[in-house]
Structure 1
Amino acid sequence: MYRFTVYSFQRSKSQPAQWVLTTFTFGHEDQQTCQMWVNQIDASLVLQDGRPKNLLVFVNPRSGKGIGSRTWEAVAPIFLRAKINTKVIVTERANHAFDVMASTSNKDLKMYDGIVAVGGDGFFNEILNGFLLSRHLAHYPPTPSDIIDCRQTEGNYPNEAINAIVNGSEDQAPLLSSAKHGGLGLSTSSGNSTDHDSEFSAFHTWFRFGIIPAGSTDAIVMCSTGCRDPITSTLQIVLGKRVHLDIAQVVRWKKTPTSKFDPCVRYAASFAGYGFYGDVIAESEKLRWMGPRRYDYAGTRVFLRHSSYEAEVAYVDTKSEDTNANGKRVLCRSNCSICNTRPHLQHSHTGSSSRQDETRWLKSKGRFLSIGAAVISCRNEKAPDGLVADAHLSDGFLHLILIRDCHHALYLWHLTQLARKGGNPMDFKFVEHHKTTAFTFTSFGDQSVWNLDGELFEAHQLSAQVFRGLISLFASGPEV
Structure 2
Amino acid sequence: QILKRYHFALKTFLSHHCYEGTVSFLPAQHTVGSPRDGKPCRAGCFVCRQSKQQLEEEQKKALYGLGDTEEMEEWQVVCGKFLAINATNMSCACPRSPRGLSPAAHLGDGSCDLILIRKCSRFNFLRFLVRHRNQDDQFDFTFVEVYRVKRFHFTSKHAEGEDGDLQERAKQRFGPLCSDSPACCRSAAKSSWNCDGEILHSPAIEVR
**When the two structures are superposed, what TM-score results if normalisation uses the length of structure 2?**
0.72
Q: Is the CA contact (8 Å cut-off) linking 1:379 and 1:387 kept in structure 2?
A: yes
| Closer/same/farther in 2, CA of residues 416 and 365 from structure 1, 3 Å limit | same
Q: How does 1:15-414 map to 2 (within 5 A)?
A: 291-319=1-29, 320-322=31-33, 329-341=38-50, 342-343=52-53, 353=65, 355-414=69-128
State how far apart, in whole Å, the 1-side matches of 2:109 and 2:96 are. 25
DSSP-derived class of the 2:75 partner: strand
DSSP-derived class of the 1:437 partner: strand
Report which structure shows greater RCO (CA 8 Å, sep ≥6).
2
State how far apart, in whole Å, the 2-side matches of 1:438 and 1:330 are. 22
Aligned residue identity for 1:299 = A
- Which deviations, in whole Å up to 9, do the C-alpha atoms of 1:313-371 show, x marking residues without a partner? 01113454427xxx95322112211223333979x8x9674834411111111110001
| Closer/same/farther in 2, CA of residues 369 and 322 from structure 1, 3 Å limit | same
Aligned residue identity for 1:308 = C
Match of 2:158 in 1: 445
Match of 1:425 in 2: 138
Aligned residue identity for 2:192 = V
| Closer/same/farther in 2, CA of residues 352 and 450 from structure 1, 3 Å limit | farther
State how far apart, in whole Å, the 2-side matches of 1:338 and 1:301 are. 37
Match of 1:281 in 2: none
% identical equivalent positions? 29
DSSP-derived class of the 1:365 partner: strand
State how far apart, in whole Å, the 1-side matches of 2:27 and 2:39 are. 20
Q: Is the CA contact (8 Å cut-off) linking 1:309 and 1:445 kept in structure 2?
A: no
1:436 pairs with 2:149: yes
Aligned residue identity for 1:394 = G
Q: Structure 1 residue 448: deviation in Å?
A: 3.3
Q: Is the CA contact (8 Å cut-off) linking 1:378 and 1:386 kept in structure 2?
A: yes
| Closer/same/farther in 2, CA of residues 442 and 304 from structure 1, 3 Å limit | same
DSSP-derived class of the 1:297 partner: helix
Match of 2:130 in 1: 416
Unpaired stretches in structure 2, ≥5 consecutive residues: 160-189
DSSP-derived class of the 1:415 partner: helix
Bigger fraction of residues in helix: 2
Q: Is the CA contact (8 Å cut-off) linking 2:47 and 2:109 kept in structure 1?
A: yes
| Closer/same/farther in 2, CA of residues 352 and 456 from structure 1, 3 Å limit | farther
Unpaired stretches in structure 1, ≥5 consecutive residues: 1-290, 466-480
Aligned residue identity for 1:329 = G
| Closer/same/farther in 2, CA of residues 360 and 345 from structure 1, 3 Å limit | closer
Q: Is the CA contact (8 Å cut-off) linking 1:322 and 1:329 kept in structure 2?
A: no
| Closer/same/farther in 2, CA of residues 416 and 429 from structure 1, 3 Å limit | same
State how far apart, in whole Å, the 2-side matches of 1:295 and 1:318 are. 30
- Which deviations, in whole Å up to 9, do the C-alpha atoms of 1:234-254 show, x marking residues without a partner? xxxxxxxxxxxxxxxxxxxxx
Match of 1:462 in 2: 205
- Off by >6 Å, runs of 4+ in structure 1: none
State how far apart, in whole Å, the 2-side matches of 1:300 and 1:461 are. 24
The count of aligned residue pairs is 170
Aligned residue identity for 2:27 = D
- Which deviations, in whole Å up to 9, do the C-alpha atoms of 1:380-408 show, x marking residues without a partner? 11111011111111011110100000011
Bigger fraction of residues in strand: 1
State how far apart, in whole Å, the 2-side matches of 1:460 and 1:351 are. 33
| Closer/same/farther in 2, CA of residues 464 and 292 from structure 1, 3 Å limit | closer
Aligned residue identity for 1:404 = R
State how far apart, in whole Å, the 2-side matches of 1:351 and 1:435 are. 23
**When the two structures are superposed, what TM-score results if normalisation uses the length of structure 1?**
0.33
State how far apart, in whole Å, the 2-side matches of 1:303 and 1:461 are. 22
State how far apart, in whole Å, the 1-side matches of 2:37 and 2:12 are. 35
DSSP-derived class of the 1:340 partner: helix
| Closer/same/farther in 2, CA of residues 299 and 400 from structure 1, 3 Å limit | same
